[in-house]
Structure 1
Amino acid sequence: MLKYQIVPVTHYQQNCSLVWCSDTHAAAVIDPGGDIDSILSAAKANQVEIQHIWLTHGHLDHVGGALALSKELQLDIIGPHKGDQFWLAGIPQQCAMMGFPAHKAFEPNRWLNEGDTLSLGKLSFQVLHCPGHTPGHLVFFEADSKLAFVGDVLFAGSVGRTDFPQGNSQQLVESIRGKLWPLGDDVQFVPGHGPMSNFGHERKTNPFVSDSRFG
């Protein structure tokens, strides 16, 4: 069974997710934007072993702690899609612009693509490439628990910004309506910021991507 804890990190209060298999206690950290001591404390409190680091996209508030966590635990960094390589290469500039402590640029040990799967204990996560907010943005979906970790693609009542370099509003809508909605109305999702919701509720009420807007 999939279990998880949302760990808000950085002054952006980004939703870093600690996810784990309840049978094996193997855990992954999704989007460690910073505050790695808080992430490690959550793992200790839940008595789980962090074995993976997964990134949805290359924005600093989601990746700022990845390199430090990787070195601390001697783990590979997995994801995002290579379309976000320029974001990771520009981490020092992002730090200066966003008021974060200085971090080094890095590349993950493995880029991910549409259709890849990630194993965590007895769990299997589908990898969906959902560009729009960034060109290399990914979503991680665990079908048995009907839970998706969507980064900054979709929020409760809103969607990710597309005014950053290589953002694309049409792509974002196509990602949400073409890849997320078919997963099912009863799928809950953890966004990169703010409260959780489910796809059915957003299809009905989200002013940016609702069925009523697109017919």
Structure 2
Amino acid sequence: MENKPYILIVEDDRPIRNFIAAAVSSQGYKYIETDKGNEAISLSMSNNPDLIILDLGLPDIDGIEVISKVREFSDVPIIIVSARANERQKVEALDKGADDYLIKPFGIGELLARIRVSLRHSMINKDKEEILSTFKVRQLVIDFDKRRVILNNEEIHLTPIEYKILSLLCRYSGKVLTHSFIIREVWGTSFGSETQSLRVFMASLRRKIEKDPAQPEYIYTEVGVGYRLIDE
């Protein structure tokens, strides 16, 4: 029998929780649910779900704290479902480790699509961790063993920083990486002084791998949040 993904639903609004439960159940996914943040952390540890759907406005602790606690022991995909629509809160959730952010109200089709994408990315990233010697998407190939970048069958030269940025994007392809996350990983500093440097290096990287940097095919900008490398 096929092993269906196991989903943890964390939502304190019962009608919305029932709506999400019905949606995942319609696809044959197994699920467990709770309306408390602390219980969600415990269930994550004890049940090892394949995906977490998480509201931020919980009655005991904020969903942001749930993300932080879960990320201490698990890289399970986390989809935020929240009425909080401002950019700062979205960035904070993604920077703490959420994989996607869905603003209420949302439709069942969009929710299921986000679930499929997150589960697919999770499997791809697990495979990458096991055999991350090369990465290929469309006409872009990165050979990590030889530190070579090939585009349209021609090698292109990247500076060390450009290569580090591209390698990071490849490792998390399909996922939005916030500015501060990239800066910490590449420069080892906190968000601030390197912001302009990131923009400069990203513009240079795009000029080398994009046919038209103004209409990128590989690296997309998530306005006010960060960057995302395509995964298909």
Query: Between Structure 1 and Structure 2, which shows a larger proportion of helix residues?
Result: 2
- TM (norm. structure 1) is 0.31
Query: Between Structure 1 and Structure 2, which shows a larger proportion of strand residues?
Result: 1
Greater relative contact order (Cα < 8 A, sep 6+)? 1
- TM (norm. structure 2) is 0.29
